[in-house]
Amino acid sequence: MAGTTVTMKMEIIAAETVRPSSRTPPRLQNLKLSLLDQNAPPVYFAFILFYAAEPDYIDVAGRSNRLKESLSETLTRFYPVAGRIKDHRSVDCNDEGVRYLEARVSCRVRDVLSNPEHETVKRLIPEEPTSELGGAPLLLVQANFFAGGGMALGVLTWHKIADGTSLCAFINAWASTALGFPDTAVPNFTAASSRFPPRDQPPATLSEVVKFKQPEEKFTVKRFVFEASKIAALKAKAAGTRVQSVTALLWKCALTAARSRRRKPLPRPSALIGAVNIRPRLVPPLSQYSFGNVLGLLLALADAEETNQLRSLVRCLSKGIEESTCGDRAMKLEMLQKVKNGDGDTYVYGCWCGLPVYGAGDFGWGKPSWAQVGVFTAANAIVLMDTRDGDAIEARVSLVPQEMALFECDPELLAFACAKPNPTC
């Protein structure tokens, strides 16, 4: 039944290192990072694909072997993924490999999808390595096999080597290799560093400059779905694109909840921080197969008066997106710090809309039933992605419990969004 907490037992039954099927030539063993890679936060980011039970694919050993063999072949073409961070300027493409875990899950996949709680899904993703970064794998995979034939594929990627576009390209290439089509993607590992050469002195990352709410603070994660018809009505009201309109509404309602919780509920400035895929925005543009981080810093700033107006927040977002390919990054971070120092409300934002999340990932047992991006580690975060049909938008929001209680009951939010715990309904 939707909304019921699932009792899930998960056991790791095998752990191994998967290496490229062929050795990387010496001339390719040192990969220069780009300035944009240096700008990326020093964290792992998570991605998970769920697959419904298929009667023809109850052979767990066969599926796991197919995953490992095709992963090994794919790593030969995506050789930096199998390497190790050498220093702040380069990756040692030494074929040390990626971590592959195999897990058995006691319940059925539909039991998890009936109420995909954040902490439950989190267990299906590899734990972050505890070793020093120079010895830690840059990619970790956890293949979770459920009772009844369903599965979930959890992936953890070091952000310094890849963004969402690059990870989708890698997973698509891996899946195509499993289907017998290994040459569908030709990654370019030098395009970004040629356009944005690294610096000897690495720039400060966003996480180093701004301290967001501490991870030990309790927070609640909720999922909301904006159906296509509701998005059309919201666009008319907000005067923005589908993504801008949804983002602005979530931002506005989060600010309303934060303001209501304060003793002095007066408007105050706010900032929304995220990243924008700038491959198509560059002149000349870079290919979607330009591997690495090709991201511009999105900083949307709203003064106290603008935080009450949906269209004003859309304009702030639009301006931040337009300026993501230009402007002084250090100045943007300084402006963000001023918002923080002035007791403004700050939110972290991620958008995967438009990425082939569901188009990738068919390893021979069908396309994913549901996908999820990211594991929340603190409050005040918003993540968007398209639903499986591509028409609706799924949003996941993390807030402190008191603010979430107000947020999820906001009439303005519920006029356009549905709190939908079950991705399959």
Nearest CA to 370 among 131, 112, 51, 22?
Answer: 51
Q: Which residues are catalytic?
A: 159, 362
Q: How far apart are CA 294 and CA 277, in angstroms?
A: 6
How many beta carbons lie within 10 A of that of residue 199, not counting itself? Answer: 12
Tell me what the mean pLDDT of segment 60-73 comes to: 95
Nearest CA to 359 among 288, 282, 286?
Answer: 288
Tell me what the mean pLDDT of segment 7-23 comes to: 95
Over residues 298-350, the pLDDT tens digits come to: 999 999 899 999 999 999 999 999 998 876 777 777 778 777 776 789 999 99
Nearest CA to 63 among 152, 168, 191?
Answer: 152
Secondary structure class of 251 (helix, strand, coil): helix
Amino acid at 187: P
Contact 355, 167 (CB under 8 A): no
258-296 burial, b for 16+ CB within 10 Å, e for fewer?
Answer: bbeeeeeeebbbbbbbbbbbbbebeeeebebbbbbbbbb
pLDDT of 212 over the 50 cut: no
Mean per-residue pLDDT over the chain, rounded? 90
Reduced 3-state DSSP string for 178-228: HCCCCCCCCCECCHHHHHCCCCCCCCCCHHHHCCCCCCCCCCEEEEEEECH
Instruction: Considering only residues 137 and 205, tell me which one the structure prediction assigns the higher pLDDT.
Output: 137
Would you state the torsion angle of the CA atoms of residues 52, 56, 57, 60, taken in this order, to the nearest 10 degrees?
Answer: 130
Q: Which residues contact 122 (CB under 8 A, 6 or more apart)?
A: 375
Tell me what the mean pLDDT of segment 34-40 comes to: 93
Contact 207, 46 (CB under 8 A): no
The pLDDT value recorded for residue 57 is 55
Which residue ranges form the domains of the chain, and what is each CATH number? Answer: 10-195 (3.30.559.10), 206-355+376-419 (3.30.559.10)
Q: What percent of the chain has pLDDT over 70?
A: 92
- Cα of first residue to Cα of last residue in the chain, in angstroms, is 11
How many beta carbons lie within 10 A of that of residue 161, not counting itself? Answer: 24
Q: How far apart are CA 308 and CA 302, in angstroms?
A: 10
Structure tokens at 166: 């690059």
The pLDDT value recorded for residue 210 is 53
Amino acid at 148: G
Contact 257, 137 (CB under 8 A): no
Q: What percent of the chain has pLDDT over 90?
A: 72
pLDDT of 390 over the 80 cut: yes
Could you tell me the pTM of the whole model? 0.92
Q: Which long-range contacts (CB under 8 A, 24 or more apart) does 301-304 make?
A: 301/269, 301/270, 301/271, 301/335, 301/336, 301/339, 302/269, 302/270, 302/271, 302/272, 303/269, 304/266, 304/267, 304/268, 304/269
Contact 31, 83 (CB under 8 A): yes
The pLDDT value recorded for residue 425 is 38
Instruction: Considering only residues 100 and 375, tell me which one the structure prediction assigns the higher pLDDT.
Output: 100
- DSSP 8-state code for residue 283: S
The pLDDT value recorded for residue 26 is 96
104 phi and psi angles, rounded to 5 deg: -110, 135
The pLDDT value recorded for residue 338 is 76
Q: Within the chain, what is the greatest distance between any pair of CA atoms? A: 63
366: region left, alpha or beta (phi > 0 left; psi from -120 to 50 alpha): left
The sheet carrying 84-87 orders its strands as 30-32, 90-92, 84-87
Q: How far apart are CA 75 and CA 169, in angstroms?
A: 12
The pLDDT value recorded for residue 4 is 59
Q: How far apart are CA 202 and CA 137, in angstroms?
A: 22
Tell me what the mean pLDDT of segment 210-215 comes to: 50
Structure tokens at 406: 């107000």
Q: How far apart are CA 18 and CA 99, in angstroms?
A: 6
